[in-house]
Each structure stands twice: as structure tokens, then as C-alpha cells.
Amino acid sequence: MARPQARFVCQQCAAVYPKWTGRCDSCGAWNSLIEELPREELPGGISKRTRDRRGGRSLGFVGLTGPSMLPPRRQTGIAELDRVCGGGFVPGSAILVGGDPGIGKSTLLLQAAAAIAPPIEEGSAKLKAQPATAAYITGEEAIDQVRLRAERLGVAASPVLLAAASNVRDIIASLDREDAPDLVVVDSIQTMYLDTLDSAPGTVSQVRAAAQEMIRLAKRRGFVLVLVGHVTKEGVIAGPRVLEHMVDTVLYFEGERGHQFRILRAVKNRFGATDEIGVFEMSDRGLVEVPNPSALFLAGRPAPGQHESGVAGENESAGSSGGQISGSAVFAGMEGTRPVLIEVQALVAPAVLGTPRRAVVGWDGTRLAMITAVLEARCGLSVGANDIYLNVAGGLRIVEPAADLAVAAALVSALTETPVPADIVVFGEIALSGDVRPVGHTESRLKEAAKLGFAETWMPIQRGKRREATIAREIETTSIGHLRELVERLAPKRSPLGPLPRQCRIGVVS
């Protein structure tokens, strides 16, 4: 039988060529040809015989209800990781963990593998008939490096199967068996290659083909496959997002270099919600879970009431570090289903250069421009000639529009040099008219604020049923219907701190 010809398929227009060329003649796209395995060779693919048949087998349709075949989820015991995955890993699923180099992906996954396969002790072996097994395949580091890390993390005693490999054929041959491990970590997918393809490891076709082979095996053998993927300079996982479509779950591990904590965020999840985050802190013994992120993000602030001071903070606030600070407001935010309190800091200074500077860290610069415009147009507050620096303390990135009111409070407080009282949390969306709009999850936000010792909240007006639903009575609620009301609260007619800077002309429009 003649050897099937290699074929190159344009990824833009699906034109097929017998040879590789740099440019697709059919659609003109550059560098879009990718070698694909001929049909007949596709493992598990459609064979010639099947295609030639007149009619296929008719499908046995079923109803939506019925016994679910999904085996129970596999929990690592690392609660932050389990929650982001929607309550643990689903056997037979593929998970992609992306992130910048050095952020801690290998550390997290080695810890997860060790947590899945805990050291077998004399007593516990009897309790659990079949302990879970985990394998860690590294294509980037040497065995000794991984061992050294395991020692540092204090997990060296765990029976994790460790291998240094990058040939997918070898990996598949070792894992395609009845007693395959329950969790397989491949670090990283960019180092894996299939020897049937000519292209170098890390190229789109290699990454895609290697991932496809391993995902197929994971589904067949029912193990959890975790692929580590590097984020390219453009901010996408190399293998331009093709991987994201192939896996069941995409997690991003992010964090600021200067900060100790890391955030694991679900971007896609076929088995759970995608708005969950897991918060970790990088310590000298690996990643430590942060079960109460609010305390971490508020570290360094004067405590409201009995508010626990939490983790030692490195975040110096905009004003003085003790007592009342102007230019700072605490935002009662939501990260997924979890409420988080975050400090928003603003600094307003007369512009030295002609064009005022706007520097924003952790928030959307366009939204800041919108809020300053609303402050000017609807509240008569002149902000324009000042440099504005806005910072979300701790390095977290806020995406919720509910942070508008907190940002406005920090800004107005900085402008008027009037501190927002330390025991107040703020949330609400600001419309272009200056109206403060209600946002979701009011109850959770209030509860979290009350839990951390805050006494009052400035929030949008709750109407109708929502108002009755607000039962968190441990905290006083002050409704702010229009941004002007917030300005009035923070801009008393005569500032106790003396004259305001010249550029900060305050005039409350009646």
C-alpha cells in the first residue's frame, strides 16, 4: 500500500497543499500552513471504510435527565485550587494552567500532585484502600531540580511519580495502561513534541498535536491531565489560543512580581463557574493558601474597630500610614462568589507639566477618565488640571463597575484632603448622569464588611424587594443616590485641614 502523502492545510481557509509554502495561494495568508496527519493515519479517526459506507449507524438519542456517568471529583485538599476548578478536578478532564514565567506554576502543580498523592503512613493505608496516584512529567527542568524543589516544599516524601521527558510518544506509551495515575502534570506543553511532525517544539502545530494526543489519552484512561502553558509576550498562551479550545478548563496564574501573593483565575471551565479566584501567597516553603484575602488586601490600613490587622503588609498608603488617610477608600468587591474588601488609593497633585498625568494600577484607565468627567460635569469638582494616580492596593486587578463609587470616594477624598472614615466600605456603579446604580451581591458584600469590623457602608439605594432582602443588620447602610451626595459628605464647606491646593477648586453645584 502506498504511504499516505503528508498534507499541509491552511489554517485560515482550509486549502490543502502537498508541500509547505510560506504563503497560502488561495487566501494570501502568511505562515498559515500546518502539516496535518493524513486521514487514514488519524488514531481513532474516520477510516476510509467508514467513509465509504452508504449509511451510518443511527444514533441512540437520550433525554436530558438520566444517571450521570461523571465519576466524583478529585479534590486536592488545597481549597483555593479546588474552588477555582469548581470543586476539585474532574477525572478525564484536561486543564491548562497559564502564566508568566516564574510566577509559580511548577510550584503550585508540584504541590497539587503531592496533595493528591499524600505520603502513605502505616495507619492511613488501611483507611483508604486505593490511594490516588499522581505523575509529574517535566520537560523543562532536570529531575534533580524538581527534587530540590520538592524538598523545599516539604513534599519529598509523597509518592509522586517523577519523569523528565518531552517526547509525546514515550509519555503516551508509559501512561496508556489500566493503572494510569489519577493526575498527570505535564510541565510544560511547549517543550513536548511529536516525532511525526517536523516542526520544532513550541510551534503551534507541535503544541496542538501534542496536546491533542495527551488529551485523548486522558479521556480514554480517565485521568486528570494538567498542562502548563507559558504566556507569550502578547499575553496569550503560545499556540494562539488553540489550546484554550481543546481543554476543558483554563486557569491563569497571575500576580505582581513585587507582591508576594498570586491569584489563580478560571478563564474557562466546562465543569464550573469561571469567575472564581484562588489566592495564594508565595513563601519560602512554596505557595500558601490565603483563605481570607480581604485581610491581605487591607493590610497596612488602620484597623476599623476590632478589625484584625491580618498579614503584615508592605503597602504604604497614599497619605500617612497611621491615623486617618485621605485619598483612600475601601471597596467591598466580589471575586466570583466570594466577597473581597480592597483598598483603593488615589493621589491628586498639581500637574507640573502642561498635560496632567493619569496613572492607574489595577483598574481601567478609561473608567477613571469617565469618573473624573462625571465629577467635573455633574458635581462641579474641578479635577482636570491635576495629576491623578490611582492604585488598587496589593496588586489586585478590579474589573467590576461596582468599584466606581469607591474610586470616586478615594478621588474626592484626595482632592479635599478629607479622609473617608476608616470604618466605611463603599460600592456602587456610577452612571454618566452621576446617578449611583445598584449592583449585585449586596448581601455578601455587607456581610464581609461586617465580618471585618466595618461599621458603615456607602452604597446605592436599594429598591423594592431588594431592600427587604438586605438583612445584614450588623452594619449601618447609607444610601447614596447621586455622586453629588458623596462629594457633599467629603467636601465640607470649610476644610479642617486649611486651604485647599489652588488647583483643587471645590464648588458643589446646587
CB 500 within 8 A of CB 416: yes
Considering CB distances under 5 to 8 angstroms, the limit depending on partner class, which of Mg ion, ligand TYD, none binds residue 104? ligand TYD
Provide the 3-class DSSP secondary structure of residue 394: helix
Considering CB distances under 5 to 8 angstroms, the limit depending on partner class, which of ligand TYD, Mg ion, none binds residue 98? none
Q: Cα(16)–Cα(36) distance, rounded to whole angstroms?
A: 10
Stretch that binds ligand TYD, among 103-111, 268-276, 334-342, 399-407 (CB under 6 A): 103-111
**88 binding ligand TYD? (CB under 6 A):** no
Q: Cα(170)–Cα(167) distance, rounded to whole angstroms?
A: 5
* Residue where the block lists cell 503531592: 114
Stretch that binds Mg ion, among 80-88, 98-106, 142-150, 453-461 (CB under 5 A): 98-106
In terms of CB distance, is 106 or 326 closer to Mg ion? 106
Closest separation in Å from C-beta 201 to Mg ion? 15
How many residues touch ligand TYD under the rule CB under 6 A: the total is 15
Q: Are strands 338-350 and 386-392 parallel, antiparallel or unpaired?
A: antiparallel
Q: Cα(384)–Cα(378) distance, rounded to whole angstroms?
A: 14
Q: Cα(456)–Cα(480) distance, rounded to whole angstroms?
A: 12
- DSSP at 237: B
Q: For 152, list phi and psi in degrees, rounded to 5.
A: -60, -35
Q: Cα(90)–Cα(407) distance, rounded to whole angstroms?
A: 39
Q: Which residue's CB atom is positioned nearest to Mg ion?
A: 106
Q: Which of 32, 76, 106, 317 binds Mg ion (CB under 5 A)?
A: 106
**386 binding Mg ion? (CB under 5 A):** no
Q: Cα(475)–Cα(378) distance, rounded to whole angstroms?
A: 30
In terms of CB distance, is 140 or 488 closer to ligand TYD? 140
Q: In 252-305, which residue ranges form alpha helices assigned H by DSSP?
A: 293-297
Closest separation in Å from C-beta 289 to ligand TYD? 14
Stretch that binds ligand TYD, among 94-102, 288-296, 456-464, 479-487 (CB under 6 A): 94-102
Q: Cα(347)–Cα(387) distance, rounded to whole angstroms?
A: 8
**166 binding Mg ion? (CB under 5 A):** no
Q: Cα(191)–Cα(477) distance, rounded to whole angstroms?
A: 55
Residues 6+ apart with CB under 8 A from 489: 458
In terms of CB distance, is 107 or 328 closer to ligand TYD? 107
Q: Cα(141)–Cα(147) distance, rounded to whole angstroms?
A: 10
Q: Which of 11, 76, 107, 269 binds ligand TYD (CB under 6 A)?
A: 107
- DSSP at 423: T
Stretch that binds Mg ion, among 90-98, 101-109, 234-242, 437-445 (CB under 5 A): 101-109
In terms of CB distance, is 106 or 133 closer to Mg ion? 106
Q: Cα(49)–Cα(395) distance, rounded to whole angstroms?
A: 58
Considering CB distances under 5 to 8 angstroms, the limit depending on partner class, which of ligand TYD, Mg ion, none binds residue 286? ligand TYD
In terms of CB distance, is 135 or 318 closer to Mg ion? 135
In terms of CB distance, is 264 or 410 closer to ligand TYD? 264
In terms of CB distance, is 125 or 148 closer to ligand TYD? 148
Closest separation in Å from C-beta 116 to ligand TYD? 17
Q: What angle is formed at CA 93 by the lines to CA 89 and CA 99, rounded to 5 degrees? A: 75
Q: Which of 24, 85, 103, 446 binds ligand TYD (CB under 6 A)?
A: 103
Is 193 buried (19+), middle (13-18) or exposed (0-12) by CB count in 10 A?
buried
Stretch that binds Mg ion, among 103-111, 338-346, 399-407, 464-472 (CB under 5 A): 103-111
**105 binding ligand TYD? (CB under 6 A):** yes
**190 binding ligand TYD? (CB under 6 A):** no
With CA atoms as reference, report the closest residue to 172 among 184, 162, 182, 161. Answer: 184
**What would the grid cell of residue 289 be?**
493558601
In terms of CB distance, is 105 or 441 closer to ligand TYD? 105
| Residue 345-384 contact track with Mg ion, rule CB under 5 A, x = bound | ----------------------------------------
Distances from the Cα of 43 to the Cα of 162, 177, 302, angstroms:
27, 17, 63
| Residue 149-178 contact track with ligand TYD, rule CB under 6 A, x = bound | x--xx-------------------------
Q: Cα(344)–Cα(458) distance, rounded to whole angstroms?
A: 15
- Which 272-311 positions form the footprint of ligand TYD (CB under 6 A)? 282, 284-286
Stretch that binds ligand TYD, among 41-49, 98-106, 156-164, 334-342 (CB under 6 A): 98-106
- Which 132-151 positions form the footprint of ligand TYD (CB under 6 A)? 149
CB 214 within 8 A of CB 206: no
Q: Cα(166)–Cα(78) distance, rounded to whole angstroms?
A: 28
In terms of CB distance, is 150 or 388 closer to Mg ion? 150
Binding site for Mg ion (CB under 5 A): 106
Binding site for ligand TYD (CB under 6 A): 99, 101-107, 149, 152-153, 282, 284-286
